[in-house]
Amino acid sequence: MGRIDILGVGFDNVDMAEAVARAESMLEGGSHYIVTPNSEIVYDCLTNEGLREIINGADMVIPDGAGVVKASRILETPLKEKVAGVELAENLLGVLARRGASLYLLGAKPGIAERAAEKMKTLAPGLMIAGVRDGYFKEDSEAVEAVRAAAPDVVYVCLGSPRQEQFIAAHLEEMGCHIAIGLGGSLDVFAGEAKRAPKIFIKLGLEWFYRLLKQPSRLGRMMRLPKFLREVKREKKRRDKEAKR
Ligand code: UDP
Protein backbone atom coordinates (compact mmCIF):
# COMPACT_ATOMS: atom_id res chain seq x y z
CA MET A 1 0.00 0.00 0.00
CA GLY A 2 1.28 3.44 -0.93
CA ARG A 3 2.19 5.93 1.74
CA ILE A 4 0.37 9.18 2.38
CA ASP A 5 2.58 12.14 1.58
CA ILE A 6 2.68 14.99 4.07
CA LEU A 7 5.16 17.66 2.92
CA GLY A 8 7.55 15.06 1.56
CA VAL A 9 7.28 12.53 4.39
CA GLY A 10 5.38 9.35 3.54
CA PHE A 11 3.20 7.96 6.33
CA ASP A 12 1.80 4.45 6.54
CA ASN A 13 -1.97 4.64 6.85
CA VAL A 14 -2.23 2.16 9.70
CA ASP A 15 -4.30 2.13 12.85
CA MET A 16 -2.77 0.91 16.09
CA ALA A 17 -3.75 -2.74 15.58
CA GLU A 18 -2.26 -2.78 12.10
CA ALA A 19 0.93 -1.09 13.28
CA VAL A 20 1.37 -3.75 15.98
CA ALA A 21 0.68 -6.55 13.48
CA ARG A 22 3.21 -5.17 11.01
CA ALA A 23 5.82 -4.82 13.71
CA GLU A 24 5.17 -8.39 14.78
CA SER A 25 5.77 -9.63 11.25
CA MET A 26 9.14 -7.84 11.26
CA LEU A 27 10.23 -10.15 14.07
CA GLU A 28 10.26 -13.05 11.62
CA GLY A 29 13.65 -12.07 10.19
CA GLY A 30 15.89 -9.38 8.74
CA SER A 31 16.56 -5.95 10.25
CA HIS A 32 13.95 -3.23 10.15
CA TYR A 33 13.34 0.18 11.59
CA ILE A 34 10.28 2.13 12.54
CA VAL A 35 10.00 5.88 12.98
CA THR A 36 7.32 7.92 14.73
CA PRO A 37 7.42 11.48 13.35
CA ASN A 38 5.21 14.26 14.65
CA SER A 39 4.56 17.53 12.85
CA GLU A 40 7.68 19.17 14.30
CA ILE A 41 9.82 16.48 12.74
CA VAL A 42 8.00 16.72 9.39
CA TYR A 43 8.63 20.44 9.49
CA ASP A 44 12.34 19.82 10.13
CA CYS A 45 12.41 17.50 7.13
CA LEU A 46 11.56 20.45 4.86
CA THR A 47 15.07 21.76 5.46
CA ASN A 48 16.88 18.57 6.49
CA GLU A 49 17.01 16.31 3.48
CA GLY A 50 19.17 13.72 5.23
CA LEU A 51 16.59 13.30 7.98
CA ARG A 52 13.80 13.09 5.40
CA GLU A 53 15.60 10.30 3.56
CA ILE A 54 16.16 8.37 6.76
CA ILE A 55 12.48 8.68 7.71
CA ASN A 56 11.20 7.75 4.27
CA GLY A 57 13.59 4.79 4.22
CA ALA A 58 12.00 3.29 7.33
CA ASP A 59 10.03 0.04 7.15
CA MET A 60 7.13 1.72 8.90
CA VAL A 61 6.38 5.43 9.41
CA ILE A 62 3.60 6.07 11.90
CA PRO A 63 1.86 9.39 12.54
CA ASP A 64 2.76 10.28 16.12
CA GLY A 65 0.83 13.50 16.40
CA ALA A 66 -2.54 15.15 16.06
CA GLY A 67 -0.93 17.75 13.76
CA VAL A 68 0.07 15.11 11.22
CA VAL A 69 -3.43 13.61 11.18
CA LYS A 70 -4.94 17.08 10.81
CA ALA A 71 -2.58 17.79 7.91
CA SER A 72 -3.65 14.57 6.19
CA ARG A 73 -7.28 15.73 6.40
CA ILE A 74 -6.47 19.19 5.06
CA LEU A 75 -4.78 17.49 2.10
CA GLU A 76 -7.86 15.27 1.69
CA THR A 77 -5.81 12.10 2.02
CA PRO A 78 -6.85 11.28 5.59
CA LEU A 79 -4.79 9.02 7.81
CA LYS A 80 -6.90 6.65 9.91
CA GLU A 81 -5.69 7.82 13.29
CA LYS A 82 -2.83 9.10 15.37
CA VAL A 83 -0.63 6.19 16.40
CA ALA A 84 1.37 7.47 19.34
CA GLY A 85 4.87 6.01 19.49
CA VAL A 86 4.67 5.52 23.24
CA GLU A 87 1.42 3.54 22.84
CA LEU A 88 2.87 1.39 20.08
CA ALA A 89 5.83 0.77 22.38
CA GLU A 90 3.47 -0.32 25.14
CA ASN A 91 1.31 -2.51 22.90
CA LEU A 92 4.36 -4.30 21.54
CA LEU A 93 5.46 -5.39 25.01
CA GLY A 94 2.76 -8.06 25.19
CA VAL A 95 3.65 -9.31 21.71
CA LEU A 96 7.33 -9.60 22.67
CA ALA A 97 6.52 -11.40 25.91
CA ARG A 98 4.21 -13.86 24.11
CA ARG A 99 6.82 -14.60 21.44
CA GLY A 100 9.76 -14.78 23.82
CA ALA A 101 11.47 -11.93 21.97
CA SER A 102 13.86 -9.73 23.93
CA LEU A 103 13.97 -5.95 24.22
CA TYR A 104 16.82 -3.48 24.76
CA LEU A 105 16.15 0.03 26.07
CA LEU A 106 18.55 2.73 24.91
CA GLY A 107 18.20 6.35 25.94
CA ALA A 108 17.13 8.92 28.54
CA LYS A 109 19.06 10.07 31.60
CA PRO A 110 20.98 7.58 33.78
CA GLY A 111 18.63 5.42 35.85
CA ILE A 112 15.52 6.07 33.77
CA ALA A 113 15.81 3.07 31.43
CA GLU A 114 16.17 0.73 34.45
CA ARG A 115 12.97 2.08 35.94
CA ALA A 116 11.21 1.91 32.56
CA ALA A 117 12.27 -1.75 32.30
CA GLU A 118 10.78 -2.56 35.71
CA LYS A 119 7.52 -0.91 34.75
CA MET A 120 7.43 -2.73 31.41
CA LYS A 121 7.86 -6.09 33.13
CA THR A 122 4.77 -5.37 35.22
CA LEU A 123 2.83 -4.36 32.09
CA ALA A 124 3.88 -7.50 30.21
CA PRO A 125 4.73 -10.35 32.58
CA GLY A 126 7.44 -12.60 31.16
CA LEU A 127 8.94 -9.82 29.05
CA MET A 128 12.66 -10.37 28.49
CA ILE A 129 14.77 -7.24 28.86
CA ALA A 130 18.10 -7.93 27.16
CA GLY A 131 19.71 -4.80 28.61
CA VAL A 132 19.43 -1.07 29.17
CA ARG A 133 21.71 1.93 28.71
CA ASP A 134 21.28 5.64 29.17
CA GLY A 135 21.37 7.97 26.18
CA TYR A 136 24.29 10.15 27.27
CA PHE A 137 27.25 8.32 25.71
CA LYS A 138 30.19 10.06 24.03
CA GLU A 139 30.76 7.75 21.10
CA ASP A 140 27.98 5.94 19.28
CA SER A 141 30.20 2.88 19.19
CA GLU A 142 29.93 2.45 22.98
CA ALA A 143 26.17 2.16 22.73
CA VAL A 144 26.22 0.05 19.58
CA GLU A 145 28.62 -2.43 21.16
CA ALA A 146 26.50 -2.67 24.29
CA VAL A 147 23.39 -3.43 22.23
CA ARG A 148 25.20 -5.89 20.02
CA ALA A 149 26.58 -7.80 22.99
CA ALA A 150 23.10 -8.09 24.50
CA ALA A 151 21.73 -9.47 21.19
CA PRO A 152 18.15 -8.25 21.58
CA ASP A 153 15.38 -8.81 19.02
CA VAL A 154 14.08 -5.26 19.42
CA VAL A 155 15.67 -1.96 20.48
CA TYR A 156 13.73 1.07 21.67
CA VAL A 157 16.00 4.00 20.73
CA CYS A 158 14.98 7.01 22.82
CA LEU A 159 17.48 9.78 22.14
CA GLY A 160 15.14 12.49 20.86
CA SER A 161 14.82 13.56 17.25
CA PRO A 162 16.73 13.77 14.91
CA ARG A 163 19.51 12.06 16.86
CA GLN A 164 17.68 8.76 17.31
CA GLU A 165 16.76 8.48 13.62
CA GLN A 166 20.36 9.22 12.62
CA PHE A 167 21.63 6.71 15.15
CA ILE A 168 19.32 3.99 13.86
CA ALA A 169 20.12 4.65 10.20
CA ALA A 170 23.86 4.56 10.89
CA HIS A 171 23.92 1.49 13.13
CA LEU A 172 20.91 -0.72 12.36
CA GLU A 173 22.90 -3.57 10.81
CA GLU A 174 25.67 -3.45 13.42
CA MET A 175 23.16 -3.68 16.25
CA GLY A 176 22.00 -6.97 14.82
CA CYS A 177 18.38 -6.63 16.00
CA HIS A 178 15.22 -7.35 14.02
CA ILE A 179 13.59 -4.01 14.83
CA ALA A 180 14.85 -0.62 16.04
CA ILE A 181 12.22 2.01 16.84
CA GLY A 182 12.82 5.71 17.50
CA LEU A 183 10.64 6.64 20.46
CA GLY A 184 11.69 10.07 21.75
CA GLY A 185 10.85 10.66 25.40
CA SER A 186 8.98 7.35 25.87
CA LEU A 187 11.29 5.91 28.52
CA ASP A 188 10.61 8.95 30.69
CA VAL A 189 6.90 8.18 30.38
CA PHE A 190 7.30 4.49 31.30
CA ALA A 191 9.55 5.43 34.22
CA GLY A 192 6.88 7.85 35.46
CA GLU A 193 9.32 10.72 35.00
CA ALA A 194 7.13 12.46 32.45
CA LYS A 195 3.37 12.19 32.61
CA ARG A 196 1.27 11.95 29.50
CA ALA A 197 -1.54 14.46 29.24
CA PRO A 198 -4.90 13.64 30.86
CA LYS A 199 -7.14 11.70 28.44
CA ILE A 200 -9.36 14.70 27.74
CA PHE A 201 -6.38 16.64 26.34
CA ILE A 202 -5.40 13.69 24.12
CA LYS A 203 -8.99 13.31 22.91
CA LEU A 204 -9.23 16.96 21.95
CA GLY A 205 -5.89 16.82 20.12
CA LEU A 206 -4.37 19.13 22.74
CA GLU A 207 -1.60 16.94 24.14
CA TRP A 208 0.91 19.44 22.75
CA PHE A 209 -0.77 22.19 24.81
CA TYR A 210 -0.53 20.13 28.01
CA ARG A 211 3.17 19.47 27.35
CA LEU A 212 3.71 23.17 26.79
CA LEU A 213 2.07 24.02 30.12
CA LYS A 214 4.28 21.46 31.88
CA GLN A 215 7.46 22.46 30.10
CA PRO A 216 7.32 26.06 28.79
CA SER A 217 10.83 25.68 27.34
CA ARG A 218 9.19 23.66 24.57
CA LEU A 219 7.65 26.84 23.17
CA GLY A 220 10.43 27.43 20.65
CA ARG A 221 10.13 24.02 19.04
CA MET A 222 6.35 24.15 19.25
CA MET A 223 6.23 27.29 17.18
CA ARG A 224 6.89 24.94 14.30
CA LEU A 225 3.31 23.63 14.53
CA PRO A 226 1.54 26.73 13.13
CA LYS A 227 4.30 27.05 10.52
CA PHE A 228 3.78 23.41 9.62
CA LEU A 229 0.02 23.92 9.17
CA ARG A 230 0.63 27.00 7.04
CA GLU A 231 2.90 24.93 4.78
CA VAL A 232 0.25 22.21 4.57
CA LYS A 233 -2.40 24.71 3.47
CA ARG A 234 -0.01 26.07 0.86
CA GLU A 235 0.60 22.54 -0.36
CA LYS A 236 -3.16 21.95 -0.62
CA LYS A 237 -3.53 25.03 -2.83
CA ARG A 238 -0.65 23.86 -4.99
CA ARG A 239 -2.28 20.45 -5.44
CA ASP A 240 -5.68 21.99 -6.25
CA LYS A 241 -4.07 24.12 -8.93
CA GLU A 242 -2.25 21.11 -10.31
CA ALA A 243 -5.50 19.13 -10.44
CA LYS A 244 -7.26 21.87 -12.44
CA ARG A 245 -4.66 21.81 -15.18
N1 UDP B 1 18.13 12.12 25.32
C2 UDP B 1 19.15 11.19 25.35
N3 UDP B 1 20.40 11.58 24.94
C4 UDP B 1 20.67 12.83 24.50
C5 UDP B 1 19.60 13.76 24.44
C6 UDP B 1 18.34 13.37 24.86
O7 UDP B 1 18.95 10.06 25.73
O8 UDP B 1 21.82 13.10 24.15
C9 UDP B 1 16.80 11.68 25.78
C10 UDP B 1 16.15 12.59 26.80
O11 UDP B 1 16.65 12.27 28.10
C12 UDP B 1 14.69 12.22 26.63
C13 UDP B 1 14.61 11.92 25.14
O14 UDP B 1 15.93 11.73 24.69
O15 UDP B 1 14.41 11.06 27.34
C16 UDP B 1 14.00 13.04 24.32
O17 UDP B 1 12.82 13.44 24.87
P18 UDP B 1 11.87 14.49 24.16
O19 UDP B 1 10.61 14.51 24.96
O20 UDP B 1 12.59 15.75 23.87
O21 UDP B 1 11.64 13.70 22.82
P22 UDP B 1 10.65 13.93 21.62
O23 UDP B 1 9.80 15.12 21.92
O24 UDP B 1 11.61 14.12 20.47
O25 UDP B 1 9.90 12.65 21.54
- Tens of pLDDT, residues 103-114: 999 999 999 999
Residue type, 89: A
The CB of 160 under 6 Å from ligand 1? The reply is yes
Which residues, 6 or more positions from 140, have their beta carbon under 8 angstroms from its beta carbon? Answer: 167, 170, 171
Task: Indicate which atom in ligand 1 lies nearest the CA of residue 41.
Answer: 24
When pLDDT is averaged across residues 112-137 and rounded to a whole number, the result is 98
Q: Is 185 in the pocket of ligand 1 (CB under 6 A)?
A: yes
Give pLDDT, residue 211.
87
Q: Could you tell me if the CB of 107 is within 6 A of ligand 1?
A: yes
Residue 220: pLDDT band (50, 70, 90) is: confident
Each residue's pLDDT tens digit, 60-104: 999 999 999 999 999 999 999 999 999 999 999 999 999 999 999
Kindly state if the Cβ of 181 falls inside 6 Å of ligand 1: no
- Mean per-residue pLDDT of the chain: 96
In the three-class reduction of DSSP (H, G, I as helix; E, B as strand; rest coil), residue 87 is classed as helix
Residues 6+ apart with CB under 8 A from 13: 1, 3, 4, 79, 80
How much distance in Å is there from the Cα of 162 to the middle of ligand 1? 10
Q: What is the mean pLDDT of residues 162-188?
A: 97
Position 43: which residue type? Y
Is the minimum distance from the CB of 85 to ligand 1 under 6 angstroms?
no
pLDDT of residue 245: 85
Q: Which residue is closest in CA terms to ligand 1's atom 16?
A: 160
Yes or no: say if 128 and 154 are a contact pair by the CB < 8 Å rule: no
Q: Is 9 helix (H, G, I), strand (E, B) or coil?
A: strand
Q: How far away, in angstroms, is 204 Cα from ligand 1 center?
A: 25
| Pocket of ligand 1 contains residue 63 by CB under 6 Å | no
Confidence grade of residue 163 (pLDDT, cut at 50, 70, 90):
very high
Average pLDDT on 139-144 reads 98
| Strand 9-11 with 4-6, pairing | antiparallel
State whether the beta carbon of 135 lies less than 6 angstroms from ligand 1: yes
Q: What is the pLDDT of residue 194?
A: 84
Prediction pTM value: 0.94
